[in-house]
């Protein structure tokens, strides 16, 4: 039995964080998402972690420069609008603005980009920030999780980059030329998981209002701005409607507001198992 614990236990993936997420301290957290609002799945948790003495970084792959039905907006206009919205959302969560990293890819096209190049950029980000925990779209546990195109790409790109970051001979130039070191991330909080795959629910009671405020900043996505963008300010009436709409996206368990994740602890090779 002792031998079993000593030999097998360190290899086994745990399905729950040993320390509840609400008590994490001193960790570096990196969220990888496709669009400048994909952190909305986790904004209560991210706000909580930042407030509790962790360092939260938001790494977004695309500028979000396509997500509109307003014919007046160009891709350049929208990229700027979405950057400003994301900055306002970060401010609402108490996350420093320089913790936002955007890799600048075009919205809607992530699956068609050069995968090796995108993974190299994510590997560089992981080796530079050296996170303890990665938040990412869940690629699926034992199945392929259905996501819309950029989210599907982001799920696999994040998992592939996390795997590659730990091998010093992969993207070796980052180590020999840029002074970075290989880095293995062992903890994952996978968001937008299938409900049956979720195993960890973070109590966001103290951060629910901040999450609502953060989500309400995406005026180009969640208001009449989707069809007819008139700037970040909404009428009081519409601002209240947006707040109500985003509030409905908050999940509850036993009356407690939560965010659900598939937590995974182990080798990045096995994220999907
Ligand atoms: Zn998205």
**How many Å lie between the centroid of ligand 1 and the Cα of residue 38?**
5
- Close Cβ partners of 112 (under 8 Å, ≥ 6 residues apart): none
CA separation for the pair 134, 159 (Å, rounded): 9
Confidence of residue 273 (pLDDT cuts 50, 70, 90): confident
Determine whether 200 is exposed, middle or buried from the number of CB atoms within 10 Å of its CB (0-12, 13-18, 19+): buried
Report pLDDT digits (tens) over 58-87: 999 999 999 999 999 999 999 999 999 999
Report pLDDT digits (tens) over 79-124: 999 999 999 999 999 999 999 999 999 999 999 999 999 999 999 9
Quick one: pLDDT at residue 92?
97
Report pLDDT digits (tens) over 226-263: 999 999 999 999 999 999 999 999 999 999 999 999 99
Report pLDDT digits (tens) over 170-191: 999 999 999 999 999 999 999 9
- Above 80 in pLDDT, residue 6? no
Quick one: pLDDT at residue 262?
97
**How many Å lie between the centroid of ligand 1 and the Cα of residue 256?**
26
The answer to whether 43 and 147 are in contact (CB under 8 A) is no
CA separation for the pair 98, 77 (Å, rounded): 21
**How many Å lie between the centroid of ligand 1 and the Cα of residue 239?**
22
SS3 content of the chain, % helix, strand, coil (to 5): 45, 20, 40
**How many Å lie between the centroid of ligand 1 and the Cα of residue 7?**
41
CA separation for the pair 123, 117 (Å, rounded): 10
Ion ligand 1 nearby residues (CB, 5 A): 34-35, 38
**How many Å lie between the centroid of ligand 1 and the Cα of residue 89?**
15
**How many Å lie between the centroid of ligand 1 and the Cα of residue 66?**
11
Confidence of residue 9 (pLDDT cuts 50, 70, 90): very low
Determine whether 181 is exposed, middle or buried from the number of CB atoms within 10 Å of its CB (0-12, 13-18, 19+): exposed
Quick one: pLDDT at residue 3?
52
CA separation for the pair 95, 263 (Å, rounded): 22
> How does the average pLDDT of the chain come out, rounded?
94
**How many Å lie between the centroid of ligand 1 and the Cα of residue 207?**
22
């Amino acid at each position: 039995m002792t031998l079993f614990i000593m030999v097998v236990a360190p290899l086994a993936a745990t399905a729950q964080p040993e320390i509840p997420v609400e008590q994490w301290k001193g960790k570096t957290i990196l969220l990888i998402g496709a669009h400048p609002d994909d952190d909305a799945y986790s904004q209560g948790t991210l706000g909580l972690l930042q407030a509790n003495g962790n360092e939260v970084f938001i790494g977004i792959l695309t500028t979000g420069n396509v997500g509109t039905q307003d014919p007046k907006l160009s891709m350049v206009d929208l990229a700027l609008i979405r950057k400003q919205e994301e900055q306002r959302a970060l401010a609402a969560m108490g996350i420093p603005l320089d913790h936002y990293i955007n890799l600048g890819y075009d919205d809607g096209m992530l699956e068609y980009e050069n995968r090796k190049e995108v993974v190299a950029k994510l590997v560089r980000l992981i080796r530079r920030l050296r996170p303890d925990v990665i938040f990412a779209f869940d690629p699926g546990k034992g199945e392929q999780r259905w996501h819309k195109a950029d989210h599907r790409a982001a799920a696999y790109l994040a998992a592939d980059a996390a795997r590659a970051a730990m091998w010093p001979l992969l993207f070796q130039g980052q180590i020999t030329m840029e002074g970075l070191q290989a880095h293995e991330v062992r903890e994952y909080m996978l968001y937008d998981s299938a409900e049956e795959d979720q195993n960890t629910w973070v109590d966001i009671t103290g951060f629910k209002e901040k999450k609502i405020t953060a989500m309400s900043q995406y005026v180009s996505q969640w208001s009449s701005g989707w069809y007819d963008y008139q700037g970040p300010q909404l009428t009081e009436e519409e601002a209240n409607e947006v707040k109500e709409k985003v509030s409905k996206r908050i999940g509850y368990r036993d009356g407690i507001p939560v965010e659900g994740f598939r937590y995974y602890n182990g080798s990045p090779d096995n994220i999907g198992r």
